[in-house]
Structure 1
Amino acid sequence: MVVERSDRPVILPEEPHNLDEFRRQYGTDVFWCGTLLGGCGQKLMAKRYEN
């Protein structure tokens, strides 16, 4: 399976406080910007941004 061509969407958390729960839920899973969904095929990274 070519994960870069995935057609299964995932929504990364927009708020910093939701990132910890997201990481607990998905652990070390890797996510991609799926080309079958119109994405670029690059690996996605969940980063914490706070003001």
Structure 2
Amino acid sequence: MFMTEREQQILDLIKQDPLIPQNTLAEMLDLSRSAVAGHIMNLTKKGFIQGKAM
């Protein structure tokens, strides 16, 4: 399945730190937290990640 460049950036950061907060990802990538949440939701739907760490 196709992954966007932004999704790849987010996935790479999550691989480095699986417990990284969405707010931190947003700050690192100059995005809103809701935009990061949308990308993470897409990555989950596409099967690249399994879901949220609690």
> Do both share a fold (TM > 0.5)?
no
Structure holding more helix per residue: 2
Highest Rg: 1 or 2? 1
Structure holding more strand per residue: 1
| TM-score with structure 1 setting the length | 0.28
